[in-house]
Structure 1
Amino acid sequence: MSGLLDIRRVYIEPEAAALPRGREILDRFPDAELVEIESHNRIPELYGDEANVARWVRIKTESLVLGVKKSLTARPNGRSSDFIAPSTANGCAMACAYCYVPRRKGYSNPITVFANIEKITGYLRRHAGRQGDKPEPNQVDPRLWVYDIGENSDCSVDATISDNVRDLVELFRDLPNAKASFATKYVNRDLLDWEPRGRTRVRFSLMPAADSKLLDIRTSPIAERMAAIDDFVAAGYEVHVNLSPVVVRDGWLEDWAELLGQLDDALSPEARAQLAAEVIFLTHNDRLHEVNLGWHPKAEEVLWRPELQQAKRSQTGGWNVRYRTGQKGRYVAALTDLLAEKLPYCTVRYAF
């Protein structure tokens, strides 16, 4: 893990500790202190304590939460996937400055793993069975129902902690009408041995290296992500790219042109033939802005740009900011035009 995780304390629900997956995870960290908790999402010393901003990365490195997923629902999506699958984990060991998860949890978001994997996979099998065949193609996929299995975490990192992600890949490998999908910023080559047989879509997130160095804290380098694409295609994964988040700053379009040229150089004919992209411009949040000022204020110089952004009240009561209407449309058109020029074989599934 190259220093990404050094688990010293596991917060654990008793119900999770009693399950086979829970015991497997605990066996991986035999020297960790165990702290019994009533609920994985109510841990006062982790969540809601402003003092934790100063220990942001240390908490991510040293703490793990082990719980049970209570509510199992597959929510309709329509952009990256047809459905958002019930989470098998949330939180992350990485520390991307633009991530929306911290503003939900409050000042700390170490990985939480759910041990009741059999219930989650059973639910997904039944849900996919009820859908039947996909009646018509859409921008998500022309033939199969697509389930995002990593909305609130990074599955490549989760796979270093438990076999939950492998269980999901193997589940979708055998479903006749569905595939899994997840975005990642971490190259975990253990996944190359899983034989997904085209039924898992890995979306490698990419941005110019200068942006990544500032904003993608504790992630795999952009060059390493691009270099992994051919290997994942050869291993049987469908591989797309997320050009995300696109941050507008001086020289941004020139840097994206350089990145797209590097991506073109990195891809085999087989990878090019199946490539598609999602293009997502930055959405930021006032609460996350405040968190970042406490641990990584340099990032806010490019993320928090009131002169370029407009605010909208979020569902959680805070304020989301995004690039101003009208101007954003011009930014999107400039980047998608550049993509068509540099990678004419790459389908843009959506851009916003």
Structure 2
Amino acid sequence: MAELPLDIARIYLEPAVEDHARGREILARFPEAERIPVASHWRIPELREGDPGDYLAAKKSALVLGVKKGLTFRPNGRSADFIAPSSSNGCAMACAYCYVARRKGHANPISVFVNIEAILAATARHAARQGPKTEPNQVDPHAWVYDLGENGDLSVDAAISGNVRDLVGLFRTLPNAKGSFATKWVNPDLLGYEPQGRTRIRMSLMPPALGKLLDVRTSPMAERIAAIPELHRAGYEMHLNFSPVVLREGWEAEWGALFEELDDILPSAVKEQLAAEIIMLTHNSDLHEVNLAWHPKAEELLWRPDIQEEKVSESGGVNLRYRTGWKGRWLQRFKDLLAARMPYCRVRYAF
């Protein structure tokens, strides 16, 4: 496995962190790291307003510890039925298209929330209130699915604390619910968590050459693909996340080769339960400016005003998406290509 993309030198921590067992556990794991008290995990100017040209430094060397305040659940309907209160925020990776940089303005390293007991209890209560899932939907035919890692990558988080193990353990006990998260990192520790089919991992994939340019500090595609059967044998439900689909000359041949590789490698037991999400690229002018400072080559593919148009998102932000009409045609071509190469792979949703 590739080296973990972390070398923690500084830990920023809220005052209440050491009141929690998880907080003390994490601090003990990094005894050499400098501890810097902060009033809030949200307001750390040196992290949020750093030099854009030094985008990667904080992601590798800084860790933020805080207490999760709002334990709210949001309806979703795409990747999950509900977005659960997150056990973390931010990421050690640096994917050039990541929306987190738009919201935070800079690198946003991992923030881990140490009040995991409260997060677990709130999730259990919410699932209990839902009762049985009586009507199947594209998310899952039987279980209420909770997205656990909307703003980060839980495979990396699992190398920092026991939060992810605790979450997987919780969903073993919830007969009407599943946990779910997308990942771009291969962490063998997950194989020992005993999910018993109650946690879904959505392995994010794109053509390898594209990934080398856009998925900075992540596991190589070959490692991700090789991990899918192992994770499935360990008890995870395995889905695929084809995201983002970035259009460039020869994109159909690139994706077709990826589908063929998956078809060759995935065993029948994985294929029988396989489903996928397809997400076309969404970009943003603020992220464009950030990327120009540290990774301009990526912008040659991501910033394509000739085939993109502005569109207001559900949250009110102005984003760039592939042009209406053309986007639908390109998406259909992608789905047709997938159906031809991997007819057993159900598309749960495409956006």
Same fold at TM > 0.5: yes
Q: SS at 2:152's partner residue? A: coil
Deviations 1:217-276 (A, max 9, x none): 000000111111111111100000001100000000110000000011110010111110
**C-alpha distance in 1 between matches for 2:104 and 2:160:** 21
Give 1:17 shift.
2.0
Aligned to 1:321: 320
For 2:266 and 2:234, how far apart are their aligned partners in 1? 15
The answer to which of 51-60 and 234-243 deviates more is 51-60
What is the deviation of 1:317?
A: 6.2
Q: Is the Cα contact below 8 Å between 1:46 and 1:52 reproduced in 2? A: no
Instruction: Letter of the 2:232 partner, please give it.
Output: V
Q: Alpha-carbon deviations, 1:7-48, whole Å to 9, x = none?
A: 00000001112210000000010000000000000011111x
Deviations 1:266-303 (A, max 9, x none): 10010111110000000011110110001000000000
Q: Distance in 1 between matches of 2:69 and 2:144?
A: 24
- Does structure 2 conserve the Cα–Cα contact (< 8 Å) formed by 1:40 and 1:66? yes
Q: Distance in 1 between matches of 2:246 and 2:107?
A: 24
1:264-343 map, 5 Å: 264-314=263-313, 318-343=317-342
Structure 1: how far apart are the matches of 2:296 and 2:85?
33
Residues 345 and 315 of structure 1: CA distance in aligned 2, closer, same or farther (over 3 Å)? closer
Q: RMSD of the TM alignment (CA)?
A: 1.1
- CA drift at 1:350: 0.8
CA contact (8 A) 1:52 1:108 kept: no
Deviation at 1:106, TM superposition (A): 1.4
Per-residue CA deviation, residues 115-167 of structure 1 (Å, 9 max, x unaligned), is 00000000000000000000210000000000000000000000000000110
Q: Which amino acid aligns with 1:80?
A: S
Partner SS state of residue 201, structure 1: strand
What SS class does the counterpart of residue 69 from structure 1 fall into?
coil
User: Does the residue aligned with 2:145 lie in a helix, a strand or coil?
Assistant: strand
> 1:319: Cα distance to partner?
2.5
Q: Which runs of 5+ in 1 are unaligned?
A: none
TM-score (norm 2): 0.98
Counterparts of 1:150-299 in structure 2 under 5 Å? 150-299=149-298
Partner of 2:71, secondary structure, is coil
Match of 1:41 in 2: 42
Q: Distance in 2 between matches of 1:218 and 1:59?
A: 13
Q: Which amino acid aligns with 1:242?
A: N
Question: What are structure 2's unaligned runs of at least 5 residues?
Answer: none
Would the aligned equivalents of 1:89 and 1:111 in 2 still touch at CA under 8 Å? yes
Tell me how many residue pairs correspond in the alignment: 350
Correspondence list, 1:132-151, <5 A:
132-151=131-150
Residue number in structure 2 paired with 1:109: 108
Q: Is residue 23 of structure 1 aligned with residue 24 of structure 2? A: yes
Indicate conservation of the 8 Å contact 1:156/1:188, yes or no: yes
Which digits, 9 at most, give the CA deviation of each residue in 1:41-99, with x for residues without a partner?
Answer: 0011111x2x4212211110000000000000110000000000001001000000000
CA separation in 2, counterparts of 1:163 and 1:332? 39
Deviation at 1:333, TM superposition (A): 0.5
- SS of the residue corresponding to residue 235 of structure 2 reads coil
| 2:17 alignment partner AA | A
User: Partners of 1:276 and 1:63 in 2: how far apart?
Assistant: 36
Q: Could you say which residue in structure 2 is the equivalent of 1:5? A: 6
SS in 2 for 1:46: helix
1:351 maps onto 2:325 in alignment: no
Q: Following the alignment from structure 1 to structure 2, what is the Cα–Cα distance between the partners of residues 101 and 298?
A: 20
- Is this contact kept in 2: 1:287–1:318, CA < 8 A? no
Structure 1 counterpart SS, 2:45 = coil
In structure 2, relative to structure 1, the CA distance for the partners of 1:316 and 1:351 (3 Å cut) is closer
- Give the Cα separation in 1 of the matches to 2:329 and 2:340: 17
The letter for the 2-side match of 1:94 is M
- Looking at structure 1, the residues matched to 321 and 315 of structure 2 have their Cα atoms a distance apart, in angstroms, of 16
**Matched letter for residue 29 of structure 2:** R
Cα drift, residue 313 of structure 1? 3.5
Q: CA deviation at 1:315?
A: 6.2
Question: If the length of structure 1 is used for normalisation, what is the TM-score?
Answer: 0.98
Which runs of 4 or more aligned residues in structure 1 lie more than 2 Å from their structure 2 counterparts after TM superposition? 313-319
Q: Distance in 2 between matches of 1:315 and 1:269?
A: 38
2:51 corresponding residue in structure 1: 52
Instruction: For residue 138 of structure 1, give the secondary structure of its aligned residue in structure 2.
Output: coil
Shift of 1:103: 1.2
**CA offset at residue 109 of structure 1?**
0.7
Work out the CA distance in 2 between the residues paired with 1:283 and 1:3.
28
What secondary structure, in the 3-state scheme, does the structure 1 residue paired with 2:54 have? Answer: helix
8 Å contact kept, 1:286–1:318: no
Letter aligned with residue 21 of structure 2: P
CA distance in 2, matches of 1:334, 1:17: 53
